[in-house]
Amino acid sequence: MDGNIRANISTGLHVTIVLKKDQKTGKLTTGVVQRILTNSRTHPHGIKVRLESGEIGRVKEILDRKV
């Protein structure tokens, strides 16, 4: 699923994000969505979310629902 569309993302979803500090390298961080921070329907670089770990970044890949 596309991480650029807000409707595809919900709390509890398992995703990979790119943190602001890792944008140049493209290093991905995996976690579970705690809160969706982007208000617009879409964003070309990915919807911004806060993970349960507290990290904030843009969704690059939607992996699976939280079990």
Give the residue numbers spanning the domain of 53: 6-65
Which pLDDT value is given to residue 64? 80
In this structure, is residue 50 part of a structural domain? yes
In this structure, is residue 52 part of a structural domain? yes
pLDDT digit string (tens) for 27-61?
Answer: 999 999 999 999 999 999 999 999 999 999 999 99
Interacting residues of 56 by C-beta distance below 8 A, sequence separation 6+ = 19, 20, 37, 48, 49, 50
Which pLDDT value is given to residue 15? 96
In this structure, is residue 42 part of a structural domain? yes
Which pLDDT value is given to residue 67? 47
In this structure, is residue 11 part of a structural domain? yes
Kindly report the CATH number assigned to the domain that includes residue 19: 2.30.30
Q: What is the pTM of this model?
A: 0.90
Integer Cα distance of 59 and 29 in angstroms: 10
In this structure, is residue 28 part of a structural domain? yes
In this structure, is residue 1 part of a structural domain? no
Q: Indicate the number of domains in the chain.
A: 1
Integer Cα distance of 53 and 62 in angstroms: 17
